[in-house]
Structure 1
Amino acid sequence: MLAARRRGLKCCACTLPSPESFRRKPTYTPLLALSLLIQAAPAPAAAPAAPAPAAEAAAAPAPCPNPYFPLEDGLRLTYRAGKSEVLILTRDVHPTPDGAGLKGTVEVDIKDRKGSTEATCGAEGVSTGLGGLEGVLLSASGLDVQVTAAEGVAVPPPARMVPGGSWKNSLSIKMRPPERANLGGMRPVISTTFDKESTVEGTEQVTVEGGTFQALKVKNRTTARSGNRPGADPGRSIESTLWFAPGVGLVKIQTGTSVDLELVRVERPVAAAQADGGTAKKAKKKRAVAQ
């Protein structure tokens, strides 16, 4: 029981890991944040709004492509989360049937675990399907995870990604401690809902291993509520700060003074193609000289 309490788990009550345990496990907070970011379900359809004035419509940026969740075919983003590397790859990007948006596949590779989901950019922002990514990201912490529900867009449209803009999403899961956990043979199923509220605080320059970016600074408040005792658990909250850079997306996550996740490398297919083209031209020139 003492071992269980140290892990933030009370077997008899099946409560959630506390914020303190989040901080003790440096990969947990960023993986949860990425799960909420990447794997939010489409928001409920809203009632049709009145047409905006022509001047206002002209001033609003187009919703797609979304610079803060770029669906760029072949884009590879590598992050460091604690001692682990997280690779996010975007592929198979194509226009939506109405021609107004984009669709693509987002893959995540971490600790030899892989998952993928379909991402769609539309007027409401970027939404993703309920699939393999949350399980991959959260199970990397050693937990046996099953996703039961997700709500809200991953990233809102650019018009709302401005200072003062805000959005919400949530993730409901069932998880069990790993078999190797010292819990006296017990592996309780813990039902958990993570509610996230995000607010854009402003813009600032941020430097990470992957470069220096002028980025949006976003404050996240994530509350974990136990589903094992509905209405009895007010939830535990933890605050973190995220930075989003145009054309790249997520750059950094920080909780307090601890950097939980940072971008270490950006690989774009255009740069690779240009490099290949340059090599081919040089080879062709050498052959011409030899002849």
Structure 2
Amino acid sequence: MPQASCPNPYFPLEEGLRLTYRAGRSELSLATREVKSTPEGLTSTLAVDMKGKVGSTEATCSADGVRTGVGGLEGTLLSASGMDVEVVSSEGPVVPAPAAMVPGGTWKNSLSVKLRPPESSKLPGGIRPVLSSTFDKEATVVGEEDVTVAAGTFKALKVRNVTTARSGRADSPGRTLESYIWFAPGVGIVKVATGENTDLELLKVERPTPAPGRPEKKPAGTRKR
């Protein structure tokens, strides 16, 4: 049954869940709202806030995994940076079904976008050039390990990503980059690293206050520091 895959523990579409990250020198928050059940699984609104720039996109969970309207982490970060992002095409899930989130599990996704600088950065004559880019990603689950970030210590799945970014030119050779993402069940992404650099680190997990008499729901795999 499709519902068995939703909510996906590695990208939980949980009403009122807010995750705050350190992204470089800025803070990025992702908040899940308006979660609704569908015949395929779940649908929700994912609100993004970075440097005071607020946007939102649709996120869906189904039997093949979780997808977002901005094409996953790359599209989300581009949107939050202030760039105008038009998604030309997006294939494959951001996070696959839980059955694939095991050591040795693999999946692919691809994102093609058109980018325009924000209104405030117009060139002389009001020009805002359009840049076309494609991101092809291959992901492999390396294994399970404890990872410590500002929000605490989590038992997480470590995923190796090999992403090839290409410009819109047909003869573009592309640039390949290796990175790692740690996913904690019940929370989602807790850390992203490229080489020795931490690109994204979870600072805080916020959930709605439980009703009186009901226990607070704690994320799986979290341990006190």
Q: TM-score range by the shorter chain?
A: 0.7 to 0.9
The TM-score, its normalising length taken from structure 1, stands at 0.65
1:113 touches 1:136 (CA, 8 Å); kept in 2? no
For 1:180 and 1:126, how far apart are their aligned partners in 2? 34
Match of 2:51 among 101, 111, 120: 111
Indicate whether 1:242 and 2:184 are aligned: no
Post-superposition Cα deviations, 1:53-85, rounded to whole Å, max 9, x if no partner, equal xxxx9xxx9312210010111111111101111
Please name the residue that 2:36 is paired with. 94
* Counterpart residue identity of residue 64, structure 2: E
Structure 2: give runs of 5+ residues left out of the alignment.
214-225
For 2:33 and 2:129, how far apart are their aligned partners in 1? 38
Query: What pairs with 1:1-291 in structure 2 (closer than 5 Å)?
Result: 62-96=4-38, 98=39, 101-129=41-69, 137-141=77-81, 143-176=83-116, 180=121, 188-227=129-168, 229-230=169-170, 232-269=171-208, 272-274=209-211, 277=212
**Higher radius of gyration, 1 or 2:** 1
The 1:218/1:102 distance shift into structure 2, 3 A limit, reads: same
SS at match of 2:96: coil
The 1:161/1:188 distance shift into structure 2, 3 A limit, reads: same
Structure 1: give runs of 5+ residues left out of the alignment.
1-56, 279-291
The 1:189/1:115 distance shift into structure 2, 3 A limit, reads: same
* Counterpart residue identity of residue 84, structure 1: S
Q: CA deviation at 1:190?
A: 2.1
Q: CA deviation at 1:145?
A: 3.5
Q: CA deviation at 1:149?
A: 1.8
1:191 touches 1:226 (CA, 8 Å); kept in 2? yes
Q: CA deviation at 1:236?
A: 0.5
Task: Output the aligned Cα RMSD.
Answer: 2.8
For 2:49 and 2:117, how far apart are their aligned partners in 1? 22
For 1:81 and 1:146, how far apart are their aligned partners in 2? 22
For 1:259 and 1:101, how far apart are their aligned partners in 2? 33
The 1:158/1:135 distance shift into structure 2, 3 A limit, reads: closer
The alignment of Structure 1 onto Structure 2 pairs a total of residues equal to: 210
The TM-score, its normalising length taken from structure 2, stands at 0.83
Percent identity of paired positions between Structure 1 and Structure 2: 64
Post-superposition Cα deviations, 1:68-113, rounded to whole Å, max 9, x if no partner, equal 01011111111110111111111121221x3x62222111111121
SS at match of 1:273: coil
